[in-house]
Each structure stands twice: as structure tokens, then as C-alpha cells.
Amino acid sequence: MPRDYLKKATLTAQSHATEVHDTVKTILSDIEAGGDAKALEYAAKFDKFEGNVLMTQDEIDAAIALVPEKLKADIRFAHDNVRRFAETQKATVSDVQTEIVPGVVAGQKAIPVDAAGCYVPGGRYSHIASAIMTVTTAKVAGCRHITACSPPRPGEGVAPAIVYAAHICGADSILAMGGVQGVAAMTYGLFGLPRANILVGPGNQFVAEAKRILYGKVGIDMIAGPTDSLILADSSADAHVVATDLVSQAEHGYNSPVWLVTDDRALAQKVMELVPQLIDDLPELNKENAAAAWRDYAEVIVCDNREDMAACSDEYAPEHLTVQAEDLDWWLDRLTCYGSLFLGEETTVSYGDKATGTNHVLPTSGAASYTGGLSVHKYMKIVTWQRATREGSKPIAVATARISRLEGMEGHARAADVRLAKYFPDEQFDLTADG
């Protein structure tokens, strides 16, 4: 039986795509040419902030003093979890070497990038967790300089909790600047900052487009769209918990898709009944976002069995994937396309978003079919090296010369020839392409 869509999305993540490319490109070009002064001009226009943009230690200390001790403890708890997980990830990459053939050794080195630029959203919501996720992983990776950049509030500056999180997680500089101008400042090394080698962190459509345009000039974590979440649930799932989890992710924004995939029609219908009630109970701004996301982007899909549920999920390749079903090990082994996986009712995407330790900067819009999320590895370059003895280089040189001539690359062949002639002057080699 084909899948039954009890609720079908009327829009996709691209339906409201604004024509921002030209605007962003103009701003980037202006700031690249005009430097600090032009960045400050855009900051005054868009951030409506005319204070100091590169925070001093005194300003950092003053902001930290405003953060309640209970919140500081929570931030430290989350930071410790993210740090420990990042350290575990880093341990999976090591410098190695192997003897390819006698006398020829090849190796791998993991080298952190020099400077990282971490964008921390601070508009509609103050994304404290984004500061923890991005700065901590860069610090564990070993980046020499880390800039945390976040939009300031008019007359106030960067949210104190973001300042505290960025500071304790290891940011070397905190830039009070938002949007394209903030991204540009890190990329071009304005205000005395080093030029960023990589830009990471979530942001609005203008930030995402700026990262897209700048990719190549700098590295980026990924090109991100609106956040999305999918729940796989069977008859054992609690409909109220499922509905609550869907709503919790829909509040991200009006265009944040949430999907329920199940093989239990009664569960699907109960969840569809509960979601509007739960949305209506949210604070006004959260309610507005969640209602639009549920109305226009959400889907509820009934499948025949768990294998079809898993196949459906892999096709969507969601950013966040939750399983509330029996036999969790089966799902862990079977599922292949997701940014982060949450197994069982006892965990939830909100845990991963804030405090578990796994990173919340994840691939969206189906990108989980080919990439994972932000990790300590994103800040590290896996480079290779090689060394050879003269005797060990002999078979390599012969093969190189022949392959190069077959390809028509005579210069490459002669780089091998000259070594054979120097190291083995009394030997004859057949170096022609036809053998």
C-alpha cells in the first residue's frame, strides 16, 4: 500500500526564498572595499548599534556580571558536555604513517585551521547554545584564534549570556556585529582580527547567503536552510510526547518543517488533534512561528511497516531524527540519513540543541544524505605527506613516467626521468607509454 499523507505540506523550505543574493553580494563588496568604516556604516544601519564593536575585557567582565549564577552554572554544564564529546571526537583522528612499498613512506597529519569565525544568532532568540557549540569545538580542535560574532541589541550590545558562554568556551575576541557585516568582518579580518579560515554557526537567510557567496574564499561548516525535524513513532509512542516534540521544533520559525512518520493511524490522528492545542498554549511569538510551520510545512505520513518508515525517513534525510518506537537497536542499525539521531522517548532534540554534548549545528534541507554536522573535525585539515629512499622511489618513478606519457603529460614524466637518471645512471628503464 502506498504511503498515506494525512497532512501534506503546502509549502517547501524554498517557497519563501527571498531574493537576497544581490543585496548580500553588494554588502560584501562594499565592506571588502571600504573596510572597517563601511562595516560600521552597515552596523549602524542594520544593527542600530553604535557602541564599541570589538568588546574590551572590561566590557566582557561587565556583561558577565549581569548573568545570574544559576544560568552560569547551566552554561558551564552544557559547555563541559560539549567539550567532552568534542575531545572524544578529536581522539578518532590521529597522525598516521605507513610504508606503501619498501622505501616509500606516506603519512597523514591533522592540522587545525588557524582562525575560526563563529556566528551566534542573537535576534529573535539569544542562541546561547550556539556560542557553546561553535566556540567549544573550535577550541578543542586547537584553532589559534576564535572570534565569536553576535548581533548587538540597540543601546545594549551583545546579550550578556552569549558573552559569558563565548568567553568561558574559549573565544579570543567577541564582535558585537550582526548579519552580513559581521560575517564580512570576520572574513576580511577587520577591526584588527585575523582573517577567518572558516565560518561556522547558524544564522538568518542573509547570513546563510553570505556564507554561500564567501565559500571558497573561506571554508564554511555547511550551507544551511531552515531547521527541520522528523519523528518516527509506532504504536508504543506517547501521542502527547510526540506532539510536544513536534511543536518544540516548529517554534524555530515559520518555515521550519516538522514531519511525523508512523505505521499507526490512530497515533497519527491523535497527534494531529493535540498539536494545535499545544501551539495555542505557547507564548505569542513562539505560537506565531509554530502555527505557521505546522500549517504550511508539516506532514503526517502513515506507512505500512517499520521498514517503509525507515525508507521514508532516509528519503527526507532530516536534520533532527527522533525514534519513539520499540527495538531501538534495529532503528540505529537501519537508519542512514540524518544530522543527529535521538533514540527513545527519554531523549529529545531539545536536549541535543542545548546540553547533551552532541553538536546542534547540523545539515538541513536534505543535506544529511551526504554530510554530517559541525564537529571538531570541521576545524581540522587532514593533510598528507610522503618521503622516499632512492631505491624505494625507483618503481614509483618508472610507473609515474609511463602513466604520465600515456596521459600526454610529458613534463610530469620528465620529473620522474631526471631522478632515475641521477640515482641510477648505470641502469636502463623502459619509460615509454606503450611499454
Residue 339's domain is classified under what CATH number? 3.40.50.1980
Distance in angstroms (rounded) separating the CA atoms of residues 269 and 413: 69
Examine residue 77 and state whether it is found in any structural domain, yes or no: no
In this structure, is residue 99 part of a structural domain? no
CB 289 within 8 A of CB 249: no
Amino acid residing at 280: D
Report how far residue 116's alpha carbon sits from residue 172's, in angstroms, rounded to the nearest whole number: 10
My answer on whether 242 and 209 are in the same domain is: no
| Co-location of 276 and 191 in the same domain | no
Q: Tens-digit pLDDT profile for the chain (435 aa)?
A: 689 999 999 987 665 556 789 999 999 999 999 999 999 999 999 999 989 999 999 999 999 999 999 999 999 999 999 999 999 999 999 999 999 999 999 999 999 999 999 999 987 668 999 999 999 999 999 999 999 999 999 989 999 999 999 999 999 999 999 999 999 999 999 999 999 999 999 998 899 999 999 999 999 999 888 999 999 999 999 999 999 999 999 999 999 999 999 999 999 999 999 999 999 999 998 999 999 999 999 999 999 999 999 999 999 999 999 999 999 999 999 999 999 999 999 999 999 999 999 999 999 999 999 999 999 999 999 999 999 999 999 999 999 999 999 999 999 999 999 999 999 999 999 999 775
Domain boundary among 183, 205, 221: 221
Task: Mark whether 231 and 208 lie in a shared domain.
Answer: no
- Measured between its terminal Cα atoms, the distance across the chain in Å is 60
Report yes or no on 138 lying in a domain. yes
CA distance 421 to 110: 36
Please tell me whether residues 42 and 154 are part of one structural domain: yes
Instruction: List C-alpha distances in Å: 432 to 112, 393, 401, 405.
Output: 43, 18, 8, 7
- Residues 52 and 165 grouped into a single domain: yes
Look at residues 374, 308, 301 and name the one whose alpha carbon lies nearest to residue 339: 374
- Do residues 39 and 122 share a domain? yes
Please identify, among 196, 221, 246, the residue that sits at the C-terminal boundary of a domain: 221
The answer to whether residue 401 sits within a structural domain is: no
* Judgement on whether residues 56 and 156 belong to the same structural domain of the protein: yes
Distance CA 320, CA 296 (A): 19
List residues with catalytic annotation. 319-320
Rounded Cα gap, residues 372 and 129, in angstroms? 19
pLDDT at 435: 53
**CA-closest candidate to residue 385, choices 107, 73, 63:** 107
What's the domain count of the chain? 2
- What integer pLDDT is reported at residue 434 of this predicted model? 77
Based on the fold, state whether residues 136 and 183 are members of the same structural domain: yes
Q: With CA atoms as reference, report the closest residue to 132 among 170, 158, 174, 84.
A: 170
Q: Single out the residue of 319, 115, 96 nearest to residue 218, CA to CA.
A: 115
Q: Which of 134, 156, 164 is nearest to 146 (CA)?
A: 134
Predicted confidence at residue 421, as pLDDT, reads 97
Assess contact for 374 and 200: CB atoms under 8 A. Answer: yes
Looking at the fold, whether 140 and 176 belong to one and the same domain comes out as yes
What's the CA gap between 187 and 217, in Å, rounded?
8
Q: Are residues 237 and 129 in the same domain?
A: no
Helix (H) or strand (E) holding 186: helix 179-188
Domain boundary among 158, 187, 221: 221
Pairing type for strands 229-233 and 145-150 reads unpaired
Task: Kindly state whether residue 163 falls inside one of the protein's structural domains.
Answer: yes
For 106, 107, 113, 376, 378, the CA distances from 97, given in Å and listed in that order, are: 6, 4, 21, 22, 22
Q: What is the pLDDT of residue 14?
A: 60
Residue with cell 564537529: 375
Q: Which residue has the cell 521550519?
A: 256
Is residue 4 domain-resident? no
Write out the three cell numbers for 66.
549581569
Question: Are 337 and 366 found together in one domain?
Answer: yes
Residues 287 and 339 in one domain: yes
DSSP per position, 291-310: HHHHHHT-EEEE-SSHHHHH
Q: What is the pLDDT of residue 270?
A: 98
Residue 223: its pLDDT value, please? 86
284 CB-side CA count, 13 A: 0
Q: Which domain does 160 fall in, by range? A: 21-60+111-221
Q: Is residue 334 in a domain? A: yes
In a domain, 86, yes or no: no
